[in-house]
Amino acid sequence: MAHINKVIRSINLDGETICVDEFLRPDGTYGFDEFRCDPEDGRGWYGIGHHGLEEYPSAEAALEQARRVVGWLNDAIA
């Protein structure tokens, strides 16, 4: 199945093995999730945050909630 959400912002933790993606859905709602990539694994990025189903009316609202629930994010974009 093809990804239908459009990533509008990706914020990496130092080391570039963990990130938060902020995305826009086709229905106009926004969301975010936290992902991890282990270079030695080869599977690519996979979700670890389990926030991807939550819906927000704006990119700003999604980022605000991400900053509340993803511990490292505030330091990464401060």
pLDDT of residue 31: 97
What is the greatest pairwise CA distance in the chain?
37
Whole-number Å distance between alpha carbons of 14 and 12: 6
Taking the complete model, does pTM exceed 0.85, yes or no? yes
pLDDT in tens, 17-55: 999 999 999 999 999 999 999 888 778 888 898 999 999
* Six token digits for residue 29: 């709602």
Distances (CA, A) of 38 to 6, 29, 44, 59: 23, 30, 7, 28
Q: Residue 2 — very low, low, confident or very high, per pLDDT cuts 50/70/90?
A: low
User: What φ, ψ does residue 65 adopt, rounded to 5°?
Assistant: -70, -40
Whether residue 1 has pLDDT greater than 50:
no
